[in-house]
Amino acid sequence: MILLSIDPGTRCAGYGVMIREGKRTRLVDWGCWSMSGRKSLIQRVTDFHRFFKDKIEEHNITSLAIETPYLGKSVATYGKLSYLRGILYLLSGQYDLDLYEYSPRVVKQAVTGKGGASKEEVAALVVQFFKGIDKDGPLKDDTTDALAVGLCALWGGQPSTICRQLSL
């Protein structure tokens, strides 16, 4: 399985590309792709599509994993995230990819063993699991969130024995 996990955002989209080989997971690409706030929403959605289409083709992706957004304080933000999720559904269909989608609570449960874990707890375990990914400095929350979603997908949405061993 070659998985592309994404934390969609209209300004910054976290992502990670993981390869599952037997019981081993390799992280081959990760980051936070930034979009200019000066561009129109149409331009950002188009750029988002192009960026992730290129990632799918570059890494021969077989599966996508995303986190379901929750309706927070801003209905407008939720609506804009829906456009990006629609793009990911479209790419999944165009490239015949398996699509995994998890709630934030399920992701936190899978990675930390606690559904109510903080972003800091999730990030610490992701960095610990993928040793050395923070060698150039702290990772953005969008990146660690995307990597956590990917681990959740690889573990079938269930806490793994690895997450219990890494627990802080």
For residue 73, what are its two tokens? 């304080």
* H-state helical runs in 30-74: 41-59
| Selected residue with higher pLDDT from 148 and 135 | 148
pLDDT at 102 over 60: yes
67 is catalytic: yes
pLDDT at 138 over 80: no
List all residues 6 or more positions away from 41 whose beta carbon is below 8 Å from its beta carbon: 10, 80, 83
7 is catalytic: yes
The catalytic position among 67, 98, 101, 121 is 67
Whole-angstrom distance, CA of residue 2 vs CA of residue 10 = 25
Question: What pLDDT shows up at residue 164?
Answer: 43
CB 150 within 8 A of CB 18: yes
Average pLDDT over residues 83-105: 92
| Average pLDDT across the chain, whole number | 86
pLDDT at 45 over 70: yes
Collapsing DSSP to helix, strand or coil, 159 comes out as: coil
Question: What pLDDT shows up at residue 77?
Answer: 66
List all residues 6 or more positions away from 123 whose beta carbon is below 8 Å from its beta carbon: 139, 141, 144
Say which residue the tokens 């929750």 belong to. 70
Q: Which CATH architecture is the domain 2-166 placed in?
A: 2-Layer Sandwich (3.30)
Question: What pLDDT shows up at residue 22?
Answer: 85
If one counts every other C-beta atom within 10 angstroms of the C-beta of residue 141, the result is: 17
Compute the radius of gyration of the chain from its Cα atoms: 15
pLDDT tens-digit profile of 113-133? Answer: 888 888 899 999 999 889 878
Whole-angstrom distance, CA of residue 8 vs CA of residue 33 = 10
Say what the pTM is.
Answer: 0.88
pLDDT at 99 over 80: yes
Where does residue 62 fall: left (phi above 0), alpha (psi -120 to 50 degrees), or beta otherwise? alpha
Average pLDDT over residues 10-17: 91
Strand order in the sheet with 63-67: 24-34, 12-21, 2-7, 63-67, 98-102
The catalytic position among 58, 136, 142, 145 is 142
